[in-house]
Structure 1
Amino acid sequence: MASGTKRVYEARSKYPDRTKNIENSFAPLTVVIKSLETGILLLSSKEEPVLQVVLSHLAEFARKQDENIVELKKQQLLEVLIEKGIYMYAENVIIRRFALFHITLVLDNTELGEYETEKIAQLLDVCFRFYLKESDEFCIEYLTYIVNLCLRDPKVAQNVLENIEFLEKFKNIFINSDNPDTVLNSIEALHKILQVQSAEEMLEFTTLPGFPVDRIICELTNEFLEIRLAAIKVLKTLLADTSDESVFEPVHRCFFVLQQLVKAFCANPRAPDALGIIEVMATALRSEKMTKLFFEQNLFDQMVEHLKEDMDFLPAEVVCTIISIFAEAAKYERYLPRIHNANITQMLLKCLLNSKPEPAPFVIMGLNRMIAHPEALRTIVAEYENGALSRLVSLVRSPDVSIKTREQAAEFIGSLLISSFRSTSEKLMEINISEALAITLRQGLPELSIDLILSLLAIIESLAANDEYRTTMGEYTPLAEQIAQLLMRSYAHSILVHNIFRCLCTIIDEAPVREVLLSNYIVSSIKRALKSLSNLVKTAVTNFILQTTRFNCFVDAYIDRGILEVLMLFQKHAFCVSTWGPAIESILSKCPTMKFCIRNCLSFTDITAGKDFYVSKRKFEDFRCFQNILRHDCSPLEPVLVVNFDRPSVDADDVICVPSHCLHDVDIAGDQKWAYCKRPADTKLPEFLEALNETLALHGLVENPDRIRRSIDFENVAKRSKIIAEAVNSVMSEDIKILDLNTTEECSRHAVRCHLESLRHIFHTNFIPLGEVRSGCQFERAILFKCFADQIGLPCTLQRSVDGRMLYNEVPLPLEMEKDIHCDKKTLKFMPWRMLRPTHIVDLMYNIGELYPMQCRQALQYLRLY
């Protein structure tokens, strides 16, 4: 071979001595270790054979008994493995499997609260890195299981959403895995992730590309029960979102999940997961799109056929649970005929009557929805004879029944009263619904839910629409008592207070109800409601006041027990309550005494007849001062004139005797006793009124020509005013000098003051009956004129001047203009009194009976303003 070429083989003169190398190398070492602590220490070795042997040995130790696992936990095996990264970088796959095995072993025997969230998050972080680089199927199985266990901590589960890389690989492995354990733990882990998300986060997460919803649907027919149950839980969560943007927005996916559910159920209706499948299907059918597919694709018929085949072999409770899907479908009225024709109504009724101890809420809900179909309603009403309605009432009143069932039963009764009032109400009254309602309401909050109470109140309102039933319920006083007691305990819930007041308005026409309410702290409840911060509550209570001022007992209670005071003082806090002002006016309109004290005027519609009318000579800035005089004081500084046409003799209970030891400076002659009365008798006023009526009769002015009470005889307003004014003058002209309108002389006031002083000594009090007053100026005469006018039906006002010293009367006397249809007397005479406007002032002192147009010179002179 030529020089320079490379030789393939070249002889060597020296070779390495392999024997010597073997002699110098480290020989294998076998050491017997009997200490667990030492074994744990060997986990820090870098030799994979050592790690494999130690991990294997620890596994055998752990399998012997559970106490050994506890010992491993004490030796902090979990912390050591986390510190070593669970040997995720070990080339020997056996080491990785053993390490993961020990992690699962420790976690299986650990309660969730034993480790802090930080430690769980640290373990999960290592598992995530392990998961991303691992391809071994067994390791993936272990890792999935560990992740599933760690996600039991909600804080940890929330942080998983930030690890995008893990989620992507997690979804890919789940979709492609054939390992049942991996599939099971993946589904359960996914369910835990969904549970910690809000509705918006779940929508965003589930609609990401690659979300394994189709794989989950497929697992509904898996051969392993655990996987089917896990898939059912996830689907139930996903199907709760019925919006168009959810993961089930595609129609093909909706049909696929319904088809799988029906297939899984029909395969074995008695399987352990059958009821879970029914729950998922019921959740799915809350969506109109799902329900439409369920009926159009004949899945409904398929379900019904299998249910009928297996009904005789299934327990009644299971059958009642299965038909919950039909209760959900009944939400859509267009499918009710098919549901009823499939005999579902009878199935629901059978469950209602036969379920022990109680039917599920959806059974009653389904029946409630079925009443929208006439045939179904007839079927339900026909079952009254078999105790269907009695069963509902017993469910409502029983505290042992779940609150959801009681709510549905009460709502169902209310719906039946609307759809079939006559049959339902008659049956309810037969079974004494008043007693059942009272017993139920006695349980009170929080035993009863707000929804249940609202339904009970709605039942009362429906029955009270019938006068006969309202009377029957009103006579059962415990019902009204329980409503009043419930109101006192319900002010934390404004909607409940609102409905209670509305319910009371429907039964307040019954006298026993009014007595019970006034004796059961309804006044305290009204005060509290008026001071509420809720406009809803204030609107409800003022509406109640408007409804109840028809009854004198309530008006007296509102005035005497402080309701009017609260209404007046809290007006500035009720600017958003439109009924606040009308509530005040409704009370005042029934009590002319307080209205005149507060408003200093009485309008045409404020009638003084029918009760005592008190007018003080003094003008009060605060009406409560006058109230205290009426309640407590017997000798106010100024006289109080009392008007009453209906008390010719004094009531003995109203006379108060003054003890003799209280009369130190009074000369008591003989056996004379001192007594006073704030409600004195008045024998003269009826006589004056009778004389007035005789005078009016002579002139043909007693009644209005058309004999219509609300019509106004404008032709004779001036004539009747003149006659009343002359009657007033004839009564109160004693020692009164008739002066000219243009004079400024006021000497007659002194005579009146002396006369009233004399009357005060006669009656031993400043409460003086008006009929005894024989000397009067504008003040006294205006009161008598108003009272006479109210008795004969003449529209008249009573006004107090600004300084409070003078009273005067106004009457409506429209001035007709030619060819003005708005001033046609034929139209005006039928005008309601509340729409009349005062036009003339009545002269009671100077030119007796003259009518002066308002703002004219004579009117201003009469009021001493000119």
Structure 2
Amino acid sequence: MGKKAKKEAETRCNEPFEPLPVEGKTPETVVLLLSSQEEDILVKACEAIYTYAEKGDDNKCYLLGLGALEPLCKLISNNNRLVRRNAFMALGIMATNGEVKSALKKKDVIPSIIDKLSLEEDTVVHEFATLCLASLSVDFVCKVQIFDNKGLPPLIQLLSSPDPDVKNNSLEIIFNLVQDQKSRQAVHESGGIPPLLELLKSDFPAIQHLALKTLQNVTTDADTCNTFREEQGFEKLMEILSNTDFSDLHAGTLQVVANCLSDSESLQLIHKDGGLKRLMEFVLTPNTPAIQSNAVKCITRVAHSSENRKLLHEHNVEKVLVELLSVADISVQTATCQAVSIMSFHLASKDSFRDLGGIPAVVQLLNNESLVLKEAAAQALSYLTHSNQLNMFAVYEAGGHEVLVQQLNGSGLRTLANSAATLGNMAAQEVIRCSILSLGAVKALVEPLNSTDTQLLVNTTRCLAVLTCDTEARAELQSAGGLHPLVNLLRSYHKEVLHNACWAISVCASDGPAAVEMCTFGALEMLQEINQSVNRRSRFSKLAMISLLNSNLSAKYSLTSHLASTDLICDGFYDVGKARAGQRILTLEEMSKQPVNEHRPIIVVNTAAEETVETEERQSNASETDTSSKAERRTPRKKKEEDKQKDEPLPEKPWKMMDDVSLQLLIKEAKESIIPLTDEREQCAALARLVSEAMGGAVEMERLHEYPWVLHLSELKFQLQANVVPIGLISKGIYGHRALLFKCLADCIGLSCTLVRGEYNRAWNEVLLFNREERPAQPCRYTVDLMHQPGSLMAPNTLAAVQYQTI
């Protein structure tokens, strides 16, 4: 038997269901109804949610807790128009609550909302959809989502909606979006400028103000300004400015005008339409501070053109600006100072500001508590005093230099930079410079040298370069520790910072101690590197290098192997040998503290007559081994110290350069025997013989290799237990030693000569003498023989001169 067939399922009853009236008495019930499949129930449930949420934030939060947000986000895409509309109403009103908005950001609802912004959709949907987006658009992530989902074009279309709420909401969203650059560009690319301009005529002040605020943002973009001009934007703005009924819009309108005036075509357009005259009227007529400050900003923008500055000067704008400096509003005073700065590029305006009493007024503003105003006032003074001597003294007479020096301590970066710039301008006048220095400006400028702000560094280094032309100022900078950070600026790759740092270094290098200290910080090595660079070298870096070397002849001789006749050797000069490029040259003190080594000795010059026991004892020991005629001239003085307890540690004595009594005697002998000679040739020859005699006498060229100068110097180093040897102790010297001694003695007696280093310990002196054989007599440079025929003078490029200078 086959299986019994299963009874077919009963078919659904075709009898109609009697409608059941539903009455929801609690929010919980209504939220449940949002999941219904019946459209009529959904329409009523959404409407009930909207009515309940509209009553307050507590109700919105309660609905959020009941889970109303999830079904509403789905219902805004429902096929039924009434369901969509009521769902948007409920969602839009709920989104105005902060907690609901935070929850909504986590849901991917923005694409669905943007999709319903089409013109075919219901106006009510537009109103609440834009209300929802307006709440969300204050968040950066939501702004990005709106932009990425192409929300701007439909929003711009809705700016022409007949419904004011839709316009206002759409405008608010656009305003939030244009805080970002890419949205500003997209607004004008999507045709947003015409409807924004049209909204300026709205009957609703809120829409007008919001449209102006949006235009203020979008007109910061150059392309937008072009579109703005093409859409007769200036004409429409001028209509607003000319209408007293729109006085509440004048401040915002002026801000839009100020943004667009950076464009040269806009400047011509506004001048042609009488806009410039209207701007002057706004400045002249007492108005609200916002209107006055924005009008001044417009004038400032206009004044960026030299042609317009001339035009403004002809309209006596300086008189108006000076009057505005006394307006008791910080925004007006700040804008006015900025206008003064730009107008100061016009030379005649600088004089007008001074003649009208504007400089004391600006100086007075330096005392204001507002950092923004102080910055603007200091900037105005920097421009007013630039290349204008009378204005410098006007600031000085108003006491401006005192306030500016005070502002070098603890002010904002821009105020500090502007103050330094003004002081640098004023310091060009000696009287003012002395007063600035007496107020401690140099010390105050040391800390800014450690800044990373380029403009501050540019102005600070320039100010120091001008101030330190005074000897006391250089000493103050050195004692305040300013040389090290100044040298560190040589590492800067900012062109102007580097130039000014080199300038300041070249000025400070006028003092020998400062030059030596800067060299210890690596200034020479850095300048060598800079001057080898095609991109970084300049006349400033070359000047700094020359100045440092001229004040540090030891380094100059080591690096360049040449001292000119004007380079006068003095105490503390030392010959460390030829330095390699980029090699740091140690100081004499550093080399004196090194243990004795096998390298060539450092030859030092010291003509001072100071007495130190340790030095005299070492010189005496060294002199006892010297059997030459020079030993007879050496008369070391010995002193004995009192015995001290062996267990008591002796304090470390400050380093002192070793005395050189023998050199002192040689100088005395040179002055007594050579200065009386009247013929310069005889003086050169006699000095050469004196030097030769002091260093072992004449040596035949063929027997030079037998001359024991190396052994003699090694013995001196051992006896002195030092690598540094005073030149007066050398009794067996060759070319380099004799040439250095000749240069030293010649400089002491006023005999002009050079010192030139060749290769392999060769060095020689050149003197400039008149050649008697020529008629008329012509000056000729001769090489002085100190080795083989002491006193003979060798003409340049002769065989004798070449043999003397080379191996």
Give the TM-score of the pair, scaled to structure 1: 0.76
Contact 2:717 2:724 in 1 (8 A): no
* Aligned residue in 2 for 1:195: 179
Assess if the C-alpha contact under 8 Å between 1:220 and 1:260 holds in 2: no
Match of 1:850 in 2: 792
After superposition, the C-alpha distances for 1:31-74 in whole angstroms (9 at most, x for unaligned) are 44434323212222233332333333334433444322211111
Q: Distance in 2 between matches of 1:728 and 1:817?
A: 23
Pick from 91, 96, 100 the counterpart of residue 108 of structure 1: 96
Identify the residue that residue 90 of structure 1 maps to in structure 2. 80
* Counterpart-to-counterpart distance in 1, 2:354 and 2:613: 63
Counterparts of 2:261 and 2:274 in 1: how far apart (Å)? 14
Give the letter aligned to residue 189 of structure 2: T
In the alignment, the residues of structure 2 paired with residue 40 and residue 195 of structure 1 have an alpha-carbon distance, to the nearest angstrom, of 38
- Find out whether 1:441 has 2:408 as its counterpart: yes
> Aligned residue for 1:10?
none
**Residues 1:415 and 2:395 are matched in the alignment:** no
From 468, 477, 480, the equivalent of 2:442 is 480
Corresponding residue number in structure 1 for 2:633: none
AA at the equivalent of 1:842: V
Matches within 5 A, 1:496-507: 496-507=456-467
Per the TM alignment, residue 744 of structure 1 is displaced from its structure 2 partner at its CA by 2.3
The Cα of 1:593 is off from its aligned counterpart by 3.3
Instruction: Give the aligned partner of residue 238 of structure 2.
Output: 259
Q: What amino acid is the match of 2:547?
A: S
Q: Does 1:219 align with 2:209?
A: no
Q: Does 1:42 align with 2:33?
A: yes
Partner of 1:123: 109
When residues 360 and 75 of structure 1 are mapped into structure 2, their CA distance, relative to the original with a 3 A threshold, is farther
1:604 equivalenced with 2:564 (yes/no): yes
Distance 1:344 1:430, change over 3 A: closer
Separation in structure 2 between the aligned mates of residue 636 and residue 851 of structure 1, nearest angstrom = 37
Q: 1:633 to 1:115 in 2, by over 3 A?
A: same
In the alignment, is residue 278 of structure 1 matched against residue 254 of structure 2?
A: yes
What secondary structure sits across from 1:518 in the alignment?
helix
Instruction: Specify the code of the residue in structure 1 equivalent to 2:60.
Output: I
Distance 1:597 1:615 in 2: 7
Q: Provide the residue aligned with 1:710 in structure 2.
A: none
Pair 1:170–1:556, CA change in 2 (3 A):
closer
Q: Residues 808 and 756 from structure 1, CA distance in 2 versus in 1: closer, same or farther, beyond 3 angstroms? A: farther
* 2:536 counterpart (574, 577, 586): 577
* 1:354 to 2:327 alignment: yes
C-alpha contact (below 8 Å) 2:449/2:486 kept by paired residues: no
Please say if residues 737 and 748 of structure 1, whose CA atoms lie closer than 8 Å, have aligned partners that are also in contact.
Answer: no
Distance 1:187 1:848 in 2: 99
Distance of aligned partners of 1:233 and 1:784 in 2 relative to their CA distance in 1, 3 Å threshold: same
Q: Which residue of 2 aligns with 1:588?
A: 549
Task: Name 2:302's counterpart in structure 1.
Answer: 329
Cα distance in 2, alignment partners of residues 392 and 688 from structure 1: 67
Give 1:227 shift: 0.6
Q: How many Å apart are 1:316 and its aligned residue?
A: 5.4
Query: 1:574 & 1:629 partners in 2: Cα distance?
Result: 30
After TM superposition, the structure 1 = structure 2 runs for residues 392-791 of structure 1, keeping only pairs within 5 Å, are 392-396=362-366, 398=368, 400-403=369-372, 405-418=373-386, 420-422=388-390, 424-444=391-411, 447-449=412-414, 452-476=415-439, 478-488=440-450, 490=451, 492-531=452-491, 537-559=497-519, 561-563=520-522, 566-567=525-526, 576-578=535-537, 583-597=544-558, 601-605=561-565, 607-615=567-575, 624=585, 627-628=588-589, 631-632=592-593, 642-643=604-605, 647=608, 650-652=609-611, 656=614, 673=640, 678-681=658-661, 682-697=663-678, 699=679, 701=680, 720=681, 723-730=683-690, 732-733=692-693, 738=698, 740-741=700-701, 743-744=702-703, 749=708, 778-791=735-748
More deviation in 177-186 or 685-694? 685-694
Q: Which runs of no fewer than 5 residues in structure 2 stay unpaired? A: 1-12, 625-636, 643-655
- How do 1:120-269 residues align onto structure 2 when only pairs under 5 Å count? 122-132=108-118, 134-161=120-147, 170-175=155-160, 177-198=161-182, 202-203=184-185, 205-208=187-190, 211-243=191-223, 246-250=226-230, 253-264=232-243, 266-269=244-247
Q: Cα offset for 1:631?
A: 4.6
- Offset at residue 793 of structure 1 (A): 5.9
**What letter is aligned with 1:389?**
I
CA–CA distance in 2 between the matches of 1:780 and 1:244?
A: 77
Output one character per residue of 1:326-357: Cα deviation in whole Å (capped at 9) or x when no partner: 34333345455765676654443233113245
Question: SS of the counterpart of 1:152?
Answer: coil
| Partner AA of 2:362 in structure 1 | L
Distance 2:138 2:232 in 1: 30
Q: 1:514 to 1:116 in 2, by over 3 A?
A: farther
Q: Is the 8 A contact 2:698 2:790 kept in 1?
A: no
Question: How high is the TM-score relative to the length of structure 2?
Answer: 0.81
Deviation at 1:765, TM superposition (A): 8.4
Residues 797, 811 of structure 1: 8 Å contact kept? yes
Equivalent residue letter for 1:90: N
Deviation at 1:464, TM superposition (A): 1.7
CA–CA separation in structure 1 for the residues paired with 2:221 and 2:283: 28
- The structure-2 alpha-carbon separation of the partners of 1:570 and 1:111, relative to structure 1 and needing over 3 Å to count, comes to farther
Query: What SS is found at the alignment partner of 2:325?
Result: helix
CA shift at 1:480, angstroms?
0.7
Look up the equivalent residue of 2:446 and give its one-letter code: A
Equivalent positions of 1:301-320 (< 5 A) are 301-302=277-278, 311=286, 314-315=287-288, 318-320=291-293
Contact 1:539/1:578 (CA < 8 Å) preserved in 2? no
Q: Using the alignment, how far apart are the partners of 2:112 and 2:379 within structure 1?
A: 55
Residue 379 of structure 1 and its aligned partner are, at CA, apart by 4.8
1:747-773 Cα offsets, whole Å, 9 max, x none, are 6647x9779979998x99897765677
Query: In the aligned structure 2, how far is the partner of 1:588 from the partner of 1:378?
Result: 43
* Aligned residue pairs, count: 760
Report the CA distance between 1:487 and its aligned residue. 0.9
Contact 1:542 1:583 in 2 (8 A): yes
The structural deviation recorded for 1:850 is 2.6
How far 1:415 sits from its partner (Å)? 2.0
How far did 1:185 drift?
A: 1.8
8 A contact 1:527–1:566 mirrored in 2: no
CA distance in 2, matches of 1:186, 1:590: 72
Q: Secondary structure at the match of 1:355?
A: coil
Measure, in 1, the Cα distance between the counterparts of 2:721 and 2:15: 138
Indicate if the aligned counterparts of 1:592 and 1:606 stay in contact, CA closer than 8 A: no
Preserved contact between residue 529 and residue 538 of structure 1 (Cα < 8 Å): yes
Q: Which runs of 5+ in 1 are unaligned?
A: 1-21, 702-719, 819-823, 830-835
CA distance 1:262–1:785, shift in 2 (3 Å): same
One of 358, 381, 392 as aligned partner of 2:354: 381
Question: Which structure has the larger Rg over C-alpha atoms?
Answer: 1
Q: Distance in 2 between matches of 1:118 and 1:367?
A: 52
Q: Check the 8 A contact 2:553/2:567 in 1, yes or no.
A: yes
Please tell me whether the aligned partners of residues 475 and 513 of structure 1 are also in contact (alpha carbons under 8 angstroms). no
1:854 Cα offset (Å): 6.2
What is the SS of the residue equivalent to 1:845? coil
8 Å contact 2:484–2:521 — kept in the other structure?
no
3-state SS, counterpart of residue 117 of structure 2: helix
Which AA in structure 2 matches 1:689? A
- Aligned AA for 1:448? L
- Which region of structure 1 is more displaced relative to structure 2, 549-558 or 624-633? 624-633
Question: Alpha-carbon deviation of 1:507?
Answer: 1.0
